[in-house]
Amino acid sequence: MGFFLTLVYIIIIYVRPQEFIADIQGWPILTYLAGICISVVFLEGSFTADKFRRSALNWLIVLFWAALAVSQIANLWFGGAVQAFEKFSKVVIVYFLILFTVDSWARLKVLMWTMILLATFLATQAIIIFYTGEGLVGGHTILRQGSIVQAQGIGIFDDPNDLALNMVPMVSFLLPAFHRGFLSRTWLTGLILLIPLVTGIAFTRSRGGILGLAAVGWYYLHQRVGKIAGVVGLMALLSLLMAIPRMDQLSAQEDSARSRLDHWSYGLELLKHNPVFGVGTDNFTDDYPQTAHNSFILVIAETGLLGGVIWVALIFGSFRELFLMRREGRAPPFMESLAQSLAGAWFGWLVCAFFLSQTYKFLSFILMGMTVAALNALARDGVTVENSWGPKQWGISMAITAGGVIGIHLGVKLLLSLTLD
């Protein structure tokens, strides 16, 4: 029952009936459902200490949750700490529901198929919106520069870029070698679903989404045919994707790109003046009209290096656990394709999130939950993966964070200087 309710919770997040059915519009459905899910998981005994101890991600996400509140307390807004804690709780609940209820290969397979079908639903919506102007459950088109039509959804998908981001990672699960290894006995099912999914992404006209799609394609080719052939394949793929409207406008001088550089520069200034705790969760826009449009910039600006390092540790830890599971000799034969598909999904998400403020949103934490679910399934088969977390892992996370700050700072300075030439 707990697993079924976990799937329902995720489906409600994506379908969002409380936003298009008039009789229940505005109802806090997710809040009510979260309470029911937690109660059922507790009563049926799915909550066990060994599952929590199995992965460093489980306590890292709790640390990150606390860091969001601490960032507000450090700025002397205790009410903001409560708000930050409560707002992120919905994401934490999704993660832990997956952790405690998805503990077998069969359940992980059902969860991944659910995510694929939900992404296909979003893609179908985007296609219908693109051609008719209105979606089946809300959403509409917008015009860029008076001629380029973009599909956008409702709720958390009411921006074309956000809509694309929630479809791109699922493409990885459908690519032939990844799909056939775990989700299906044939590559044909994945190929059939790829058609509407890629079309839906294209109809959002999201440049970040298209680049994320290219990243998924590059990773797949890199794993299948090697580094050099992968780069050649990526260049060929990009040449095709550049034909999509708005992609030919990628330039530091273009208004949208220039505004993003301004947002990133402002975020770095916030970090400079509040290096440890940041300005507080959700406070980026207090004295600025736009959000960061970069998930890394957003987290270091709002939660400082404290929250930024933990957030980076969560992502680094996910890749590390996927690597360790791939290397485990006692794992089932499909472990390789499963780990590769999840890594490909992460690459797609990271590229999209570089241009969007997705730090506290659901999808990345669902991907983390899937990673830990694979660890649980392995443990159920009697295979324990050694993945201790210590000073070395913290040091790597800090180095990545510092490198990200320095790299973006230098990149912004360079690109801004080019716009002035």
* Averaged pLDDT, 133-149: 71
pLDDT at position 257:
65
Residue 228 banded pLDDT, cuts 50, 70, 90: low
**Within its chain, how far is the Cα of 291 from the centroid?**
17
Cα separation, 38 vs 94, in Å, equals: 10
Report percent pLDDT > 70 for the chain. Answer: 90
Which domain covers residue 364, as residue numbers?
Answer: 2-420
pLDDT at position 157:
84
What single DSSP character describes residue 333?
A: T
Maximum average pLDDT range among 47-61, 108-122, 317-331:
108-122
Cα separation, 134 vs 127, in Å, equals: 10
Mean pLDDT over all residues of the chain? 86
pLDDT at position 339:
93
The residue with greater pLDDT, 62 or 138, is: 62
pLDDT at position 144:
65
The residue with greater pLDDT, 133 or 307, is: 307
Cα separation, 357 vs 314, in Å, equals: 17
* Averaged pLDDT, 349-358: 92
| Helix or strand run (H / E) with residue 111 | helix 105-132
Residue 7 banded pLDDT, cuts 50, 70, 90: very high
From residue 45, give the alpha-carbon distance in Å to each of 39, 42, 51.
Answer: 10, 5, 12
pLDDT at position 223:
81
pLDDT at position 254:
56
Contact 6, 98 (CB under 8 A): yes
Q: Does the structure show a pLDDT above 70 at 369?
A: yes
Residue 180 banded pLDDT, cuts 50, 70, 90: confident
What single DSSP character describes residue 77?
A: -
pLDDT at position 95:
95
Cα separation, 312 vs 396, in Å, equals: 10
Instruction: Write down the H helix ranges in 17-101.
Output: 29-43, 49-53, 56-73, 78-101
Would you tell me how many other CB atoms lie within 10 Å of the CB of residue 416?
Answer: 15
Residue 388 banded pLDDT, cuts 50, 70, 90: confident
Maximum average pLDDT range among 139-143, 375-379, 385-389:
375-379
Cα separation, 58 vs 403, in Å, equals: 25
pLDDT at position 18:
79
151 phi, psi to nearest 5 deg: -90, 140
The residue with greater pLDDT, 21 or 63, is: 63
Contact 166, 88 (CB under 8 A): no
How many domains are contained in the chain?
1
Cα separation, 122 vs 160, in Å, equals: 11
Picking from 151-165, 168-182, 264-278, which range would have the lowest pLDDT averaged per residue?
Answer: 151-165
pLDDT in tens, 237-287: 555 555 455 545 554 445 566 788 888 999 999 999 999 999 999 999 888
The tokens for 344 are 């490909």
* Averaged pLDDT, 226-241: 60
Residue 113 banded pLDDT, cuts 50, 70, 90: very high
- Residue written as tokens 């394609």? 217
